[in-house]
Chain A
């Protein structure tokens, strides 16, 4: 519990520090100080997560410290650190310390989600993270879009939380326990009932919401578009990583006996079939809808939906191949997304960056941003030798290993491979604007003011994120050998 304690203490410290010393300072200064304090908390949490060691059950079995927990905790902390640093140099809020504190609370929720192995703790952790994220989405009170995004996110999230809780209570009723081990043991000993199916589908609805999988994706484009950039970055990256870890732990160790089989066409029924449906729907809808976008952030949202499809495929494969491929994929996706949002945030300091065409001529305005953006986007598109390629590769390989082309898992992998080609198109549209198209006439007139100055701390984290993608792409075993 050291990481959570560090984060919560850090959040409280940020608030008190701001109350005590921040009143007379400018907003920028207060944000800067808050980010420094927040970063210290994140670093302390990283140390805690790193040194906690492995243990099967903590606090009477409600938490577990295994390799997945450790990797996810470190992963979300890295993502949170990047988000915080970017926020520190780009965001303009009227309550900076509160923003940082809530990011830390959300991160505490994420790390708790990574470790939970009991239904109630899982739910509480999820809600801690979700409630913080609702607030973050609506943090920019000067913009109506932000409020709209927050409201939609909240309504959708609240509804899916209700489904989740209902599903949990049904499962408790059916199995008599909220411990994952006991649920698993009970499910293994009893044949599945229709009521259990309904309960599982309810859990999966919440999962679909968290992962932005179709048809529970509707919030994503609005939130990505309307929320402040740093909040959107957190929602798109760390929240996804923690969510995937939580649900993959619920699904395989908890409800594993009810999984069924999708490696052959006539496999046993179970929740895997539902996940496969969600995956197929997300892949198709995400990739095709992204083609028609002209708003950069909405495009990223639809690309997130498409990526969610691949992640669900990774969840299907996790039963056999372990959590390694899935974690690698989600983590590298998170890094690339957070980086892309970071680039948007830095650009927005000088000029608005909503439409894809706002990127035109970026290579003249800031070569550094263009280079980093190219790496993030190409990684999202799955270009070798970047991490995105290798992530796709191992997930597809794991899915194909389940039963070759004999069953839905293999078909899904093939579908995803074909759709990657489609995806390449819309990613390249972004890069074409950034790299090829000349700056818009109104902008190109005045070349001096048009250069984008990148704050040093933002530049460092952006380059760091790009480096992670390159290094992990070249040497994936750095991550994979943890599992």
Chain B
């Protein structure tokens, strides 16, 4: 099977059509809308597979199809589609994981009265995300990027009657917009210096040698080269969308949305868009920019893992672990290993979707109880959910050899170790490994082991097959996917970097690191199990304090408050913003408002004058005349003459005036 890049648009178009069907169907058409959404995504999946096989046949090629969107004077704005292994892998992943999540949603959202709308939004989201992936123009990427943001806003706030959900939706939208501003500026600057926003264009695209050379020789601004500045501005967009420090605050709050949304958007696909973007524009990034990206990634990885230790909400823990894992991916890009980043992105998409859907399964079974202190003992009651969740956790933690997360994390650690730049990211990543193992063990122990600590947990039972089948499929991939990129045979990385031959090396080459990270994972799991697994087995009450809270209450509380980032932002940017808003409001109301009112009055006045002149003077005059004439039963022909006089006199006057203008102008 091969697919020309010309037809790549079909991949996002199918879900878009499904979204349109969803928007136009009345609320009762539940099965139609859900069916359309799932069928469209499955078809997209098949086309993505065709695209993948095409791309893999020649991984070094960037197949493009560019076309003119519109022309303005001498400027042509062109868009296009791009097919290379990166696009193809991502499309296949998004459509596959997306399909499973759509199916899971059938069960999870069954009782919701806005079921139809939910699937409409999901399709819109999938369309935007896929559009972003196949775009060969940063402009198109940006458009889809914003559409993804919109869909995310709609879905986080899906239960908008909950104030927390509405606030979270707003927060997510506004926070990511701050990053998007940087993205837009970077885009404009790039357009200004490169004259094009096409990524690949037969040698003239922004990622190709001609433009890169021109950018490299461009002047510097305040010690930064233009290329670095553009790269960092684009990175701002990725910081917002991928929940990197310091804009990570929206991601945990986004868990207010329905759980399938958390799985699809805030774990598997949308937040990966930032990483994807960075991997896509990797040729543009200068060493300076990469250094910044690596450090931000490392801080995020560490920060997310630390905060996750002290959270109690099942989904929030997973959210912070997402923040942390996205940090790992950014770190990988920063240390010059975009293929490792994408490898981790792909494996993470599967096991994190698995974890979120597993969490959804737990929450659905436990009547929307998501506080881990209230759960417990579910391993017996929900065997399938438990075992798949355990596989997901082990993949996330990086349990050696058999789980995908281990191999992808290993690739990142190797790259971070081998980098010529600072080694801070490497050490941060190692600490992150321990913490990740620790808090995930805590999560498992609290949720699935020990005694049920609430009514809801006691009466939980396994969910229907429509919800568990996706779990099983995802669990399979959470294991299998790792073998695509082991150091012995790094097939995936080779294809992503455009090579046809795979240069593997013996596992013993980096065995020190392999052993070290295995030991660190063991330390984390051991600590977690000691603190939560053993001592708590006897615990039956939900109110018993956390062992860490007993050991270091202040630190624990501080972590529990998520390092008070929200409060910090509220006290600084929030206050400034409120002040500015108040000032603008005053200005708007009294200064601009006054001016506008004045002109409105002026407009109204002249409108009235015009109408009076037109209707009363001419029209009205005639109407009145003809009314009288009709009333007195005069001959129609006389009404006729009145008519002609009123209007035609005006025509004649107009002619005379214009003729005078023409002749006087001619004389002058």
Q: Which residues of A contact B (CB under 8 A)?
A: 151-152, 155-156, 159-160, 163, 192, 194, 197-198, 200-202, 204-205, 208-209, 215-216, 218-219, 221-222, 260, 269-271, 273-274, 277-278, 285, 288-293, 397, 401, 422, 425, 475-477, 480
Contacts and interface: CB of A to CB of B under 8 A. Distances in A.
Contacts of A160: 651
Given A221-B619, A269-B668, A156 B648 contact: yes
Interface in B609-668: 610-611, 614, 618-619, 640, 643-644, 647-648, 650-651, 653-655, 658-659, 661-663, 665-668
Interface string B210-252: 0000000000000000000000000000000000000000000
A31 B405 CA distance: 72
A194 B603 CA distance: 38
B70 A197 contact: no
B662 A271 contact: yes
Interface in B298-323: none
A269 B665 contact: yes
B69 A477 contact: yes
A400 to B, nearest CB: 11
B20 to A, nearest CB: 12
Given A289-B611, A291-B603, A292-B608, A476 B70 contact: yes
B504 interface: no
A159 B72 CA distance: 42
Question: Which 10 A-B pairs have CB atoms at the shortest separation, nearest pair first?
Answer: A291-B607, A269-B665, A197-B662, A292-B611, A215-B654, A289-B610, A292-B607, A288-B607, A201-B659, A194-B663
Among B611, B640, B650, chain A packs the most CB atoms within 10 A around the CB of B611
Contacts of B604: 291-292
Nearest to A398: B73
A205 B651 CA distance: 8
B582 interface: no
Contact of B647 (A219, A269, A278, A397): A219
Contact of A201 (B607, B610, B651, B658): B658
Interface in B596-612: 603-604, 606-608, 610-611
Nearest to B656: A201
B71 interface: yes
B634 to A, nearest CB: 15
Contact of A198 (B603, B614, B650, B659): B659
Given A271-B662, A274-B658, A218 B647 contact: yes
Contacts of B668: 269
A216 B658 CA distance: 12
A320 to B, nearest CB: 12
Among B603, B643, B651, chain A packs the most CB atoms within 10 A around the CB of B651
B607 A198 contact: no
B284 to A, nearest CB: 29
B508 interface: no
Contacts of A205: 651, 654-655, 658
A160 B661 CA distance: 19
26 contacts: A151-B640, A151-B643, A155-B648, A159-B648, A194-B663, A194-B666, A201-B655, A205-B651, A208-B654, A215-B650, A215-B653, A215-B654, A222-B619, A269-B665, A269-B666, A269-B668, A270-B665, A274-B662, A277-B661, A288-B610, A289-B614, A292-B604, A292-B610, A292-B611, A397-B72, A480-B71
A215 B665 CA distance: 19
Contacts of A271: 662
A233 B261 CA distance: 48
A59 B643 CA distance: 42
B651 A216 contact: yes
Given A218-B650, A477-B71, A273 B611 contact: no
Given A155-B643, A221-B614, A480-B71, 16 more contacts: A159-B648, A159-B651, A194-B663, A194-B666, A197-B665, A215-B654, A216-B654, A218-B618, A218-B651, A270-B665, A273-B665, A274-B658, A277-B661, A288-B606, A291-B607, A476-B70
Contacts of B611: 289, 292-293
A155 B658 CA distance: 21
Given A288-B603, A476-B70, A480-B71, A202 B655 contact: yes
A286 to B, nearest CB: 9
Contacts of B643: 151-152, 155
A202 B663 CA distance: 13
B538 interface: no
Nearest to A290: B607
B568 interface: no
Contacts of A204: 658
A277 B659 CA distance: 12
B647 A156 contact: yes
Contacts of A269: 662, 665-666, 668
A152 B614 CA distance: 15
Contacts of A476: 70
A200 B662 CA distance: 9
A289 B607 contact: yes
A168 to B, nearest CB: 15
B511 interface: no
Contact of B658 (A151, A270, A277): A277
Contacts of B614: 218, 221, 285, 289
Contacts of A219: 647
B68 interface: yes
Nearest to A371: B24
Contacts of A475: 69-70
A475 to B, nearest CB: 7
A155 B607 contact: no
Nearest to A418: B599
A477 B75 CA distance: 13
Contacts of B663: 194, 197-198
Contacts of B653: 215
Contacts of B619: 218, 221-222
Nearest to B655: A205
Contacts of A273: 661-662, 665
A436 B619 CA distance: 33
Contacts of A209: 651
A290 B647 CA distance: 19
B574 to A, nearest CB: 33
A124 B594 CA distance: 55
Nearest to B657: A215
Interface string B315-344: 000000000000000000000000000000
A221 B618 CA distance: 12
Contacts of A198: 659, 662-663
A196 to B, nearest CB: 8
Contacts of B73: 397, 401
Interface string B37-72: 000000000000000000000000000000011111
Contacts of A216: 651, 654
A290 B69 CA distance: 36
A301 B297 CA distance: 62
Contacts of A197: 659, 662-663, 665-666
Contacts of B69: 475, 477
B662 to A, nearest CB: 4
B249 to A, nearest CB: 33
Nearest to A160: B651
A190 B73 CA distance: 34
A288 B600 CA distance: 11
Nearest to B68: A477
Contacts of A401: 73
Given A218-B618, A269-B668, A292-B607, A274 B661 contact: yes
Contacts of A422: 603
Nearest to B644: A155
Nearest to A219: B647
A215 B71 CA distance: 36
A328 B322 CA distance: 50
Contacts of B70: 475-477, 480
Contacts of B655: 163, 201-202, 205
Contacts of B618: 218
